[in-house]
Chains A and B, each alone.
Chain A
């Protein structure tokens, strides 16, 4: 359902061009759990930004269910991000003036849910990532790992169709990482959530069905694992 063809991203094309993504093609089916790996600077985040509609490709095609998603007007992209996509940034990105609960419930309110209902669902999502009892903390009252988990809760709270996660476990200890990855696995199984996750850690890969390795902006290999 998700199809990328010859995707290219060149930063600073006018001054010192950086070919961060240099012609990438693949197809991802609904319900796939894909791990993207590669050395630092290989273009993983750049690719994920484009897939998550946060940045425009310089060239190439990107369709979801045959819809040319790159060409959508800005408002529809926003709506798409709200309803279909969950995104976990490599650097946790919370709204600092909101509590954990506020951060997680705001997309639901944007979707039209009442504040009460939004907060109920947000609490559930925060419980899932192990933050029960920290609902009312603001960014400065949370550790790096806790912030990242708030960001994860926010990404999954609205039951998106696709989850993009850029090194979601980078700031987490191995136990919490495992919990988070189990949550991903569960959502992947139960809700057929498509997950595309960038990671560094070898052992994270076992949660994925498929591994795409990047090198210098191109795919070095693309392997489907057999369970």
Chain B
């Protein structure tokens, strides 16, 4: 056994040292490409998916959204609840919002929109509205009779027809807002934000107190939603568990749960893409690797026959082919990783833009990378083993002279 391994190693190292260098380099390059193909497309999709996730978590929904139970218009004792929430480990910040449907009118034009009453000081830790102001300023603690509009609400000079909104109102314009409860009020546009997606840019924001007045709940400690931000992505389900454990009775949704409702189709397409690119990558990897090493081994039939004739065991020969193909695979993985690194760095510097405001870079998914690594190694093992096994079973003279 040990002798077989040793001889296998000697044979493999001889082949690699003295065999056709071009074949070796070519094989390694092809394997590198297979590796990249396997890993890169999912990384792209992953990066693209990241935008959607950010869109979700950075504006309207946060990491976790807490809403009143059905049949209850509001969360009650919102401040007590907020205290409870912020005490949970993993929670970075939380804020309350009020929300109301409304129609916003300017001149002849009108749009339906959700208006959120927010606490500007707290929002800065939760959402990115104020980071993406296209013009004007964000709300302050003192903001009364002031509104900031999403880009799709205001409309934009030269923007797409479908998203004309109010046809391009600018900062300082007075707009009319008719809330769904019938209350009408005029607001001065303080600024316009542009997060780049429908999820963020179809809403409008006013001060929390402003909406309290409109809804008639001043000083009652009520809220429509509580938005929670966790300090890292991924722990949302645990935080939710903890909140339930602490007796929060309201409806709690992590962004992962919310995204299913909001971006259902997009997410389905993404997971389909990821799965299919993975499967295709895997099939290509297995097939090409197998074929290359198979052909390589079958071309070595004569040598294998000679080795058997002089008393070299079949096991040694099989080991040598396995060593070789695993060597190729490792070479391919190393080369592939280097190329991949450059690709990732390149795209980090030069993100891919789509629409105007969104851009992304590929993000390597550890799972897929490990999967690619393992499947390349395992495949190379069998791609070494199977043809060698088939050839060593042939009669010696047939291997040597092909008859």
Contact = CB atoms under 8 A, between A and B. Distances in A.
Interface of A: 49, 52, 54-56, 74-75, 78-83, 85, 87, 89, 93-99, 102, 106-107, 109-112, 115, 138, 154-155
A109 B18 contact: no
A98 B18 contact: yes
Contacts of A96: 303
Interface in B158-203: none
B18 A110 contact: no
A82 B303 contact: no
B310 A154 contact: yes
A82 B19 contact: no
A106 B306 contact: no
Q: Chain B binding site: helix, strand, loop or mixed by DSSP? A: helix
A95 B399 CA distance: 13
Contacts of A109: 3, 6-7, 10
A98 B307 CA distance: 11
B3 A110 contact: yes
A110 B320 CA distance: 13
Interface residues of B, number: 25
Interface string B386-403: 000000000111001000
Interface of B: 3, 6-7, 10-11, 14-15, 18-19, 302-303, 306-314, 316, 395-397, 400
A36 B396 CA distance: 23
B312 A110 contact: yes
* Top 3 A-B residue pairs of the complex, sorted by shortest distance between their CB atoms: A82-B311, A81-B311, A93-B306
Given A109-B7, A109-B10, A97 B310 contact: no
B7 A78 contact: no
A54 B310 contact: no
B310 A99 contact: no
A106 B18 contact: no
Given A52-B309, A75-B314, 11 more contacts: A54-B309, A55-B396, A56-B395, A81-B310, A82-B310, A83-B311, A97-B18, A98-B14, A106-B312, A109-B10, A110-B7
